[in-house]
Amino acid sequence: MVQPILQVKNLEVEFVTDDGIVRAVNDISFDLYPGETLGIVGESGSGKSVANLTILGLIPQPPGHVKGGEVLFAEQDLLKLSQRQFRTIRGKRIAMIFQDPMTALNPFLTIQDQLIEVSMLHLGHTRAAAIQHAVELLELVGIPAAASRITEYPHQFSGGMRQRVMIAMALSCEPDILIADEPTTALDVTIQAQILDLLKAMQDKRGMAIIFITHDLGVVASICDRVLVMYGGRKVEQTDTKTLFAAARHPYTLGLLHSAPRWDQPQLTRLQSIEGQPPDMMNLPAGCAFAPRCQWKTDECLAAVPELVSIGSEFSEGSHVFACIHADQIQQAGSTSREELPHA
């Protein structure tokens, strides 16, 4: 059996602010396997970034506070590491890329200085070898004239190019895990497609595991092997990508699937939106956080947070986990509405 490369167990993170306590991540657990891409989807504010920043010890404390849980990697709990110990892992064995490349790039250093610093530090390259390595990486991520442009500053690159530079930097140490937090959300589809292809190619070559945070179901469908759905700081559903799209069992997931228009099919007259608003993370309800927006809710849903239930997945060997007491009804509703969809 393949062992997970990363195990997140019962992670709880909160922010103590003047207005109250934000319960950003509530009891999140998942395993990540070598060579796979795990998608994380959810509304903005549902805790996707906080959960992943916590894995890398990047939560500002205070106001952040890791209340509980474990993050097991290479036989140690990352939550117990000092910032110094973290430096041997972050950027070397686990790397992260963000939506805004300028959060990772230093505007006052040339691309070369930023790229070689990492590999000299972590891979023990000489300066000359590090430059060589950096140019190769830039070429790999599709920067034209990499050898001459490497001495430029970040602001001399376009947004799409900066994104690729950041990816080159993240890949420069050949990490075991890449955490990608909406890395293509701000990019045009043509550049997004290039970057997704690149990540896939790097993954095939190096067996790197990827956590891909996105709100774009198209991106999920095209690159993720498995998907974890978050709502109100909790995991509400997790399964392989095929099962998720074909047999969702949580009403938020189903609503999300129905909300997304497609460019490759004739338009329906109306999108089936999820009515209402996402929950206030400072005042999460006692019961299911999705209940106020849910057409299937019953009194039971309001009383207590539904437990995660696990069954075998329909389309793969893996399992299907969901937190909804009306899951069967929802899966039924999903399959009926699919039959009603007009096809081209």
Ligand X SMILES: Nc1ncnc2c1ncn2[C@@H]1O[C@H](COP(=O)(O)OP(=O)(O)O)[C@@H](O)[C@H]1O
Q: Residue 321: which residues within 8 A CB-CB, separation 6 or more?
A: 235, 237, 238, 239, 308, 309, 310
Q: d(Cα 341, Cα 268) in Å, to the nearest integer?
A: 8
Residue 49 is a binding residue for Mg ion (CB under 5 A): yes
Ordered strands of the 20-32 beta sheet? 20-32, 6-17, 64-73, 76-77
Which listed range, 41-49, 66-74, 235-243, 295-303, lies at the site for Mg ion (CB under 5 A)?
A: 41-49
Residue 277 is a binding residue for ligand X (CB under 6 A): no
**Residue 171, SS3 per DSSP:** helix
Residue type, 63: P
Residue 184 is a binding residue for Mg ion (CB under 5 A): no
Of the candidate residues 8, 39, 41, 49, the single one contacting ligand X (CB under 6 A): 49
Provide, rounded to whole angstroms, the least separation between the CB of residue 297 and Mg ion. 27
Which listed range, 45-53, 64-72, 245-253, 331-339, lies at the site for Mg ion (CB under 5 A)?
A: 45-53
Q: d(Cα 154, Cα 143) in Å, to the nearest integer?
A: 13
Residue 234 is a binding residue for ligand X (CB under 6 A): no
User: Total residues at the site for ligand X (CB under 6 A)?
Assistant: 15
Of the candidate residues 275, 300, 314, 328, the single one contacting other proteins (CB under 8 A): 275
Residue 44 is a binding residue for ligand X (CB under 6 A): yes
Residue type, 258: H
Of the candidate residues 49, 114, 241, 331, the single one contacting other proteins (CB under 8 A): 241
DSSP symbol at 211? E
Burial of 344 (0-12, 13-18, 19+ CB in 10 A): exposed
Q: d(Cα 277, Cα 293) in Å, to the nearest integer?
A: 7
264 backbone φψ class: left, alpha, beta (φ>0; ψ -120 to 50):
alpha
The answer to whether the CB of 187 falls within 8 A of the CB of 14 is no
CA 67 to chain centre: 21
Residue type, 175: P
Residue 156 is a binding residue for other proteins (CB under 8 A): no
Q: Which is nearer to other proteins, 9 or 242 (CB)?
A: 242
**Widest distance between CA atoms in the chain:** 67
Of the candidate residues 6, 11, 47, 131, the single one contacting ligand X (CB under 6 A): 47
Q: d(Cα 186, Cα 167) in Å, to the nearest integer?
A: 15
Of the candidate residues 99, 110, 194, 319, the single one contacting other proteins (CB under 8 A): 194
Residues 207-226 binding other proteins (CB under 8 A) are 215-222
Of the candidate residues 107, 124, 261, 342, the single one contacting other proteins (CB under 8 A): 261
Residue 306 is a binding residue for ligand X (CB under 6 A): no
Q: Which is nearer to ligand X, 63 or 207 (CB)?
A: 63
Of the candidate residues 6, 8, 11, 24, the single one contacting ligand X (CB under 6 A): 24
Residue 42 is a binding residue for ligand X (CB under 6 A): yes
Of the candidate residues 10, 106, 272, 335, the single one contacting other proteins (CB under 8 A): 272
Q: Enumerate binding residues for other proteins (CB under 8 A).
A: 43-44, 144, 158-161, 188-194, 197, 215-222, 241-242, 245, 255-264, 266-268, 270-275, 277-278, 344
